[in-house]
Amino acid sequence: MYKVSFTLRILTIAMFAFACALVAQAQAPRTWVSGVGDDLNPCSRTAPCKTFAGAISKTATGGEINIIDPGGFGTLTITKSITVDGLGAMAGVLNTGGVNGFSINFDSFNAADTRKAVHIRNLTIQGSGAATTGARGIRINGGSVIAGGLVRVENCIIEGDSTSPGRGIEDTRTNGGKLFVSNTSFNNLSGTAISHNITGAVRLDWTIYNVRIFNCSFGVAIGSGARAVVSNSVISGCTNAALFAEGPVGASELNAENNIINNNGTGVQNNAGGTTRLSNNTITNNTTGITGTTLSFGNNRIAGNTGAGTAPTPIGAASSNFGQQ
């Protein structure tokens, strides 16, 4: 009897230790994916998973999914703070079939997730390659539960989304938050490269630095409640407007500095009273240079457009030359 009881106790302890090990393994701070991995693996460095979707459930909140070797790792719905990093490999997401490459849903984050931060970097998010292509490279949702979330997109290529709405990054949050986009290219999108087109009750802040936008419908478009800074970027080949700010009066704010805006339908469009400030931009070879009311620090180069459009209103000292506004 004693021997049986002792054996059962040892087995119970062993099973408990094994279960704890599985739980710990399931929530590792760093996981790995590989083109030859398997989602049944624990997503460790030596036993990687196959897809981002397979790895995220085994990655702890605030953790990081890394990529070992080249591959396409599937679309991903994100419901907790996490980093997805493709550094060192040709890492991609193919979001065909009218779906999103990444869907970030802040309303599904756990209330105890104090980071409220998603970082996507060093990836190609490709919407083309099939009869029905992708809808959005990255979509950011939120409005009823988690406020103030942060999304960072760095060193990425987002292209080829042409199923409506065909956007690169779409931010639909209505309760505030921040978006940082840097060193990223947007190519051949049927819709807007970086879009916010809804009314938000709480301020939404964007910082867009050193991006390249080519052949889209709109370049950067903000709606009511958004505040955006776009700097050191090139926006070209947009059939509508390169930069677009929606009204009503005072409801949106777009600040553009040191950008090249050329070969678009309209260079800068301020619609229905949004605030748009311009500094040190080159706005040239567009069908129309500027439409709507804009403000200028007097150091922009607005020339060579088929139609000049509406001259900016100087901020500070007045400028006498529409070609240098």
Q: What is the pLDDT of residues 142-155, one digit of tens each?
A: 876 566 799 999 99
Average pLDDT over residues 78-85: 97
Q: 220 with 241: CB under 8 angstroms?
A: no
Average pLDDT over residues 162-166: 81
What is this structure's pTM?
A: 0.87
Each residue of 43-54: pLDDT tens digit?
999 999 999 999
The one-letter code for the residue type at 204 is L
Asked whether the predicted pLDDT for residue 2 surpasses 90, the reply is no
For the chain, the C-alpha Rg in angstroms (whole number) is: 24
Q: For tokens 């030359």, what's the residue? A: 321
Cα–Cα distance measured from residue 206 to residue 229, given in angstroms and rounded to the nearest whole number: 6
Each residue of 83-114: pLDDT tens digit?
999 998 878 888 877 789 999 999 999 989 98
Alpha helices in the chain (DSSP H): 2-26, 52-56
Q: For tokens 């959005």, what's the residue? A: 136
Average pLDDT over residues 54-71: 95
112 torsion bin: left (phi>0), alpha (psi -120 to 50), beta (else): alpha
Average pLDDT over residues 192-205: 81
Cα–Cα distance measured from residue 213 to residue 4, given in angstroms and rounded to the nearest whole number: 72
